[in-house]
Structure formats: C-alpha cells, structure tokens
Chains A and B, each alone.
Chain A
Amino acid sequence: MIAGSTSDAQRIVITGVGLTAPNANSLADFRAALLAGKSGVRSYEIRYVGATLAGVCDFEETRYQTRKEVRRGTRAGSIGVYSANEAIRDAGLEWDTMDRSRVGVYLGVTEHGNVETENEIYELTQFDYDVKYWSHHHNPRTVANNPAGEVSLNLGITGPHYTIGAACAAGNAGLIQGAQMLLLGDCDVALAGGVSESVRTFGIFASFKSQGALAEHVDPHKASRPFDTGRNGIVVSEGGCIYVLERLERAKARGAKIYGEIVGYAMNSDASDFVMPNAQRQTECMNLALRRAGMSASDVDIVSTHATSTPSGDVQESLAVRNVFQACNGKAPCVNNTKSFIGHTMGAAGALELAGNLPAFDDGVCHATINVDELDPECQVPNLVTNEPRETRGVEVILNNSFGMLGTNSALIVKKY
C-alpha cells in the first residue's frame, strides 16, 4: 500500500501520542518505566473471581472530564478522553481554531459493554430481577462505538467516530484504520489507537481462568512473563493509547514534531481456531506488511511482540518470528515484549506497545522483555532482549505485532522520519 508513496499527501506520520498504562500516564514516564524495568501489575480483587492480578491505570479522570461526564460515561470512555486530549496537546494542534469536522476518531476495542452489563445485572439482583430497575444509561454505555463517541462528545469532534473490534489486535487495527482514512482523504487528522476497560469485567478473568490462561504468581511483578518456562497465563490490564496521525504534507506545513512514519501494515485471519494462534498466518501477516513497506526482514531493527505469557501462544509467535527473521543472521532485529511490564491491555495493547518502542528512534535503546528467568527453548528467537534494555547501533524501523482471538492478526511497521 504505502511502499513507493513519494507524495507527502500519501505518507502518514505520527505527530502526537497520549496514553495511560498501568505503569505510566505519559509517553515519557512510560518509556522511563520500561527502561527501568518497572512493572505495573498488582494484586487485584474483582467480584466473584476474588483475589487475582491486574494492571490498573491511575490517570486523573477529571483532568479533561467533569465529574458528571465520568459518572455518565464508561471507564473506556474516560481512558479514551484522557488519551485523546493528551495526544492533541502533545501534537501541538491548534484545537480551538481547528475544523473538527475533518477529525476522525478510530479506536480499537477488544470488547466493550461487558463491564456495564455485568454491573446492571448485579444491580438488578438487588431488585429481584425486576427490569424496571435497569438503567436507561445501559444502551449509550454499551453501544460498541461508546469509547470513540465519548471522545467525540468531549472534544466537539464532528467528523466520523467509531470503534474497531479486533480482539487483541485492535490497537494496531485502530492505527491502520486511521491511516487508511487519511489516505482516502476522509479526514485531515486521525485520532487512532486503542482502549480497554477490561479489568472491570469479572467475565474476562473468569473466562481466562476456566481456559487455564489466567496468570498466577506470588509476586505480581513477575506474573506476566512471556517466553519464560514458568509462564502460566495472561495478566488482564486496562489502558489506552491514542495517536495523532496526519498526512506528511499537513504535518510539515504546520512544523509538527514527527515521531515516525507508518510505512507498512497488514491484517489477515487464521481461519483455523477460536483461540489457538496460527504461526503460519502470523508469518504471512508480517511478511505482507514488510512487502507493502517495500522492506526485507533485515531492514527491521525492533520487533515488538504480542506474546501474552500463555504457554501455547508464545510458542506460536516465536515460531512465526523465527520464520520471518531467522534468515537475517547477523542482522536480525532486537525482539522485545511490553506485556511483561504492564500485562495485556487488550484493545490498547498494540497501540501502547508501539508507543513504548517509539522513543527508540531517538535513544537507540531497545527495552527488554522482563521476567525471563529461564528461557523456554521453544521461544528461542534471534536477539531476544531479556531483562535488561539493550543499546543498539540505531533504530530506524519497528515492526509491531498484535494478534487476537478468532484468529485476527496485525503487523504494523513504523519508520523513523
């Protein structure tokens, strides 16, 4: 798609980042936490499941929302509003004079509505299941576009807004959608990324537990441990990361700071299983993104893996990464994993994990995948950066993987500008 695009009107760049993660509420703090090995996973209690672990954000909800807006909306909406406002500020957009009908909001979600539905049903149990007590807020809170809609309401954006449901590939999918809408001329500024409020639904914890895929560890900081032999499941987390995307010509015209350029992307489907990943399709997805970027595997400097710390999923992705990058020999990219610090932020994962790596364009450091005490032989990949960040000879290209249930795969390639 983008390979060979020399026109600035057909090149898509990142000009702003706003985020909240379990270990930071800004890009600078997030990067510092990742380089310092700071985990955001902690002990957590949730209805019916009881004591478990989670990554919970502590951003200030009322920085950009009134208390009434917080009360009426959803946690995913608040995460979206916070992240979007931070991104706009970071991008230096002159918001007050902007034509907001030319702004689009494209947010990836793994799921939405579970939290609100569970809460209403719990409330209903107090009233003998009499639906007269069911809230009139239920529908506006649970419609699938809710988080993007709350961003639109908060910021007075009259361009398109919607969410992209793509399981845990949704963060990348939001970015891809934003880039595509810019290329189509549907908007001039895209607020694109992903959000998740999943820590507030007991169902996601209970379902992973029933599946044997919920992480357990006496030390919360060590619970998310992709590629380690002791890994035993996912740490459910919340979070959000929204980017300001623009066409290069617009970014240059306003003298914007440019974090990087989206030079390639791909999404495909396994068509093989509800939950088991498929290394072959993941391989094809990465190769397609590279082909579209006009790059070969050896052009990539960092591979940001999706690995969620499940016994089988990590093996599949490791196999896919080997398939694509083994032949690079001495030029194999550094490979890392951000979930090891923050758990699985679901719909935000792809967007947040890319953000954690973006500063490598400036500092040349690849942050690690932590908690690898004993590397699983089946997860051996060339240049896996374990436990300590690694200085490189410079980072020009990042490939960001994000995969999801029902076999949805995504790979996004960002190049230093």
Chain B
Amino acid sequence: MTTADIKDVIIDILEGIAPDEDLSNLDDQTPFREQLELDSMDFLDIVMELRKRYRIQIPEDDYVELASMDSTVKYLEPMMRDLEKV
C-alpha cells in the first residue's frame, strides 16, 4: 500500500466511526480531535478496525501516534507498505 492508500483506509474507517462528520476538508496535520468529535472509544475503534482488516496490532503506548492523519500514516506505513488494500 502507498501512503495515499493508507490515508484512504483511515478515511474509510473514520467514515464508519463518525458517520455524521464531513471528512472532505480534514487537515492532515491537525489532530483529529480538534476537527472531529472523537473520544477515547472512537480511537479504540480505529485500532480495532486496523486489527480486524489488516491484523495490525498497535500497542497501547503507541496510540498517541494516531493523533493526526499525517502522524497516523507515518506510523502505519512500515507496517502496511507490503499489505494489499482490502
């Protein structure tokens, strides 16, 4: 997967988690929480979806890496570069 593919995956997951939100103007550098109404359970949903879709295990200490789109993609890229998008 390319970084663009990974971003698409995250957007797809966010659409499921925050179905009332408009994600079209999401700023990649700004934390998700400053742009969307997301709480800790929502972030756990992101972790769970990545686990279910790609068998990616994210340690709790690394959850901070999922703060913004840029940080998330950067964190996931080494784990997902060899995976096929589903």
A binds B: yes
Interface on A for B, CB 8 Å cutoff? Answer: 66-68, 71-72, 127, 132-133, 135-137
A72 with B20: in contact, given A133-B48, A133-B52, A136-B48 (CB under 8 Å)?
Answer: no
A133 and B20 contact, CB distance less than 8 A: no
B51 with A133: CB separation less than 8 A: yes
Interchain CB contact under 8 A, B52 and A71:
no
List B contacts of A71 (CB < 8 A). Answer: 16-17, 19
Partner of A137, one of B18, B41, B57: B41
Those of B29-45 within 8 Å (CB) of chain A: 37, 41, 44-45
Inter-chain contact A66/B41, CB cutoff 8 Å? no
Structural contact, B20 and A136, CB atoms closer than 8 A: no
Point out the residues of chain A lying under 8 angstroms from B51, CB to CB. Answer: 132-133
Docked pose: A66 CA to B37 CA in angstroms: 12
CA distance A91 to B76 in the complex (A): 53
Nearest 7 interchain pairs by C-beta: A67-B19, A66-B20, A136-B44, A67-B20, A68-B20, A68-B19, A68-B18
Question: Of all chain B residues, which has the CB nearest A137?
Answer: B41
How far is it, in angstroms, between the C-alpha of A127 and the C-alpha of B45 when the chains are bound? Answer: 17
What would 25 A/B residue contacts be, using CB atoms closer than 8 Å? A66-B19, A66-B20, A67-B19, A67-B20, A68-B17, A68-B18, A68-B19, A68-B20, A68-B37, A71-B16, A71-B17, A71-B19, A72-B41, A127-B52, A132-B51, A132-B57, A133-B48, A133-B51, A133-B52, A135-B48, A136-B41, A136-B44, A136-B45, A136-B48, A137-B41
Total interface residues in chain B, CB < 8 Å: 13
Expressed in whole angstroms, the minimum distance between the Cβ of A186 and any Cβ of chain B is 31
Measured between alpha carbons, how far is A358 from B16 in the docked complex, in Å?
42
Which chain B residue lies CB-closest to A134? B48
For B39, the closest partner residue in chain A by CB is A72
Q: Given the complex, which residues of B lie within 8 Å of A66, measured CB to CB?
A: 19-20
B residues 1-31 near A (Cβ < 8 Å) are 16-20
Residues of B within 8 A of A133 (CB): 48, 51-52
Residues from chain B with a CB closer than 8 A to the CB of A72 are 41
User: Which residues of A sit under 8 angstroms from B20, Cβ to Cβ?
Assistant: 66-68
B-chain residues with CB within 8 Å of residue A68 when the two chains form the complex: 17-20, 37
Residues in chain A near residue B16, CB distance under 8 A: 71
- CB neighbours (8 Å) of B57 from chain A are 132
How far, in whole Å, are A72 and B19 apart by their CA atoms in the complex? Answer: 11
In the bound complex, residues from chain A placing their C-beta under 8 Å from that of B45 are 136
Q: With a CB–CB cut-off of 8 A, which chain A residues contact B18?
A: 68
Min CB gap B20→A, angstroms: 5
Q: CA separation between A136 and B52, bound complex, in Å? A: 13
| Nearest-CB residue, chain A, relative to B57 | A132
Complex Cα spacing A298 to B57, Å: 69
Q: How far is the CB of A102 from chain B (nearest CB, A)?
A: 28
Which of A67, A68, A127, A137 neighbours the largest number of chain B CB atoms within 10 Å of its CB?
A: A68
Closest to A65 in B: B20
- Of all chain B residues, which has the CB nearest A71? B19
Give A135 to B17 CA distance when docked, in angstroms: 13
CA distance A237 to B41 in the complex (A): 31
A341 to B45, CA, bound (A): 41
Query: Once bound together, how far apart are the Cα atoms of A137 and B37, in whole Å?
Result: 17
Within the assembled complex, what's the spacing in Å between the Cα atoms of A68 and B42? 10
**Chain A residues with CB below 8 A from B17, complex form:** 68, 71
In the complex formed, the residue of A with least CB distance to B47 is A136
A-side contacts of B37, CB under 8 Å = 68
Minimum CB–CB distance from B59 to chain A (whole Å) comes to: 12
Residue of B nearest to A62 (CB): B20
Report the minimal beta-carbon distance from B49 to chain A, rounded to whole angstroms: 11
